Structures are given as C-alpha cells and as structure tokens.
C-alpha cells in the first residue's frame, strides 16, 4: 500500500468514527449549549477544517454549498445557536469531506509546503495534523456521549481506500 492510500485509509477511519458519534447523538444533546460548544458545532468545526486542509492551499478553498458565510465564530453564541446544522446536514458534509479525501489525497506532493502560511510544515505532516484534529473532536464528542447514557463509538482501525 502506498503512502497516499495509507493517508486515505486513516482519513476514512477517522471520519467513520465521527460519523458514528453524529449518528448516535441523542436529539437532546445535539444543540445542548451547556458545553463550551454544541455537539453539532463540534462536528461541523472538525469537518470544516478537514475540508479546508484537504485543499492544495488556502486560496483553493471553496466553501461547502450549505455554508455560505464560512466558519461560524464560537465567540458569537447567538449566531452558533441560530445557525445550527441538522444531523442530516452534518452527515452530508461528512460525505462531502470523504469525496474530498478521494479527490485531493492521490495528487498530494507530500514533500511540498502545507499551503497554509500558519502551518509551517509539509503536506505529509499536514495530513497527520488534519487527522489528529478530526480525532480530537471525535474524542470530545465520544466523551459527551459516554456521559449521556454510556453510548459508545466503536474503534475503526483503517478505512477502505
């Protein structure tokens, strides 16, 4: 298996775990603002940056069709509450990100610069960084699920490539 297929596999595994968390989230927890951010926002945030960092560079990024204004600032809690994406929306964005994995990863020059001035490393490290970001937020969501009825998300070691 070549490096690009390994990267695709790990993106798919990370996104599969995020998908499980989104699907298993109880309705009452979806927009719960008692946390720093709501469940849906945490999932959206992970997907937004997955989508962004899969692009060749910042200037190549085109917003997802249902996200006309860009990422919603957590500092504006009323905007976060008002903009709540549905579970179906988040699952649609996740499917879109999986398509981006299939489209973008095979052509990556892993030795090239990240393409994002605030991330001073190469494309290979960017992929690790991006997958770790997905898993950080998936872990946060799994922690919430566990605290609300011992809902578990199964481990996915590798995804199909």
Task: Give me the pLDDT at residue 152, please.
Answer: 86
Residue 69 forms part of a structural domain: yes
Structure confidence by residue, pLDDT tens digits, 125-137: 999 999 999 999 9
| Count of Cβ atoms closer than 10 Å to residue 133 Cβ | 16
**How many independent structural domains does the chain possess?**
1
Distance CA 65, CA 151 (A): 31
Domain that holds residue 88: 3-147
Lowest mean pLDDT among 9-13, 64-68, 106-110: 64-68
Residue 154 forms part of a structural domain: no
75/136: higher pLDDT: 136
Residue 85 forms part of a structural domain: yes
Q: Is the pLDDT of residue 73 over 90?
A: no
Tokens of 39: 């469940």
Tokens of 148: 């609300």
Domain containing 106 — which CATH number? 1.20.120
Residue 155 forms part of a structural domain: no
Q: What is the mean pLDDT of the chain?
A: 90
CA distances from 43 to 2, 55, 93, 123, 124 (A): 29, 19, 10, 23, 24
Task: Give me the pLDDT at residue 74, please.
Answer: 54
In this prediction, residue 159 has a pLDDT band, given cuts at 50, 70 and 90, of confident
Residue 117 forms part of a structural domain: yes
Task: Give me the pLDDT at residue 9, please.
Answer: 96
Q: Is the pLDDT of residue 141 over 70?
A: yes
Distance CA 90, CA 96 (A): 10
Q: Is the pLDDT of residue 18 over 80?
A: yes
Q: Is the pLDDT of residue 36 over 90?
A: no
**Positive or negative: CA dihedral 29, 156, 46, 119:** positive
Residue 152 forms part of a structural domain: no
């Amino acid at each position: 298996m070549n490096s690009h297929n390994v990267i695709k596999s790990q993106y798919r595994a990370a996104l599969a775990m995020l998908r499980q968390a989104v699907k298993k989230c109880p309705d009452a927890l979806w927009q719960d603002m008692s946390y720093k951010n709501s469940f849906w926002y945490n999932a959206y945030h992970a997907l937004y940056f997955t989508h962004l960092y899969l692009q060749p560079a910042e200037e190549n990024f085109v917003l997802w069709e249902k996200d006309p204004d860009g990422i919603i600032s957590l500092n504006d809690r009323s905007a976060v509450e008002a903009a709540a994406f549905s579970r179906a929306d988040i699952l649609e964005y996740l499917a879109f990100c999986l398509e981006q994995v299939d489209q973008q990863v095979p052509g990556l020059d892993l030795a090239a610069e990240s393409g994002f001035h605030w991330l001073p490393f190469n494309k290979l490290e960017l992929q690790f960084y991006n997958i770790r970001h997905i898993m950080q937020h998936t872990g946060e969501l799994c922690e919430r699920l566990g605290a609300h009825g011992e809902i578990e998300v199964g481990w996915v070691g590798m995804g199909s490539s």
